[in-house]
């Protein structure tokens, strides 16, 4: 069920506070990355889930 939220001004941008229950359900925390896109007149926000190949590349890079 949709909920109504107000956008909050932060500098020249706007912020949307996402309910804790939504974050918990998606396994997101303060450092999680999300992908934001426009689909028609909808703002779509989804968790960023790197592909396995991208995770392997990052792990290899981190090991040096």
pLDDT digits (tens, 9 = 90+) for 3-53: 999 999 999 999 999 999 999 999 999 999 999 999 999 999 999 987 776
pLDDT at 1 over 80: no
**Residue 39 included in any domain:** yes
Pick 60 or 38 by higher pLDDT.
38
**Residue 40 included in any domain:** yes
- The whole domain housing 37 covers 8-63
pLDDT at 58 over 70: no
Residue showing tokens 């968790």: 47
CB atoms within 10 A of CB 37: 9
**Residue 43 included in any domain:** yes
pTM above 0.75, yes or no: no
**Residue 57 included in any domain:** yes
**pLDDT for the residue 54:** 64
**Residue 1 included in any domain:** no
Exposure on the CB side of residue 33, measured as CA atoms within 13 A: 4
**pLDDT for the residue 55:** 61
User: Residue 9 has which token pair?
Assistant: 């001004």
């Amino acid at each position: 069920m949709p909920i109504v939220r107000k956008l909050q001004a932060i500098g020249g941008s706007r912020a949307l506070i996402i309910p804790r229950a939504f974050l918990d359900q998606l396994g997101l925390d303060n450092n999680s990355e999300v992908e934001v896109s426009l689909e028609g007149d909808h703002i779509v926000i989804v968790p960023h889930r790197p592909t396995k190949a991208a995770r392997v590349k990052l792990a290899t890079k981190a090991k040096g």
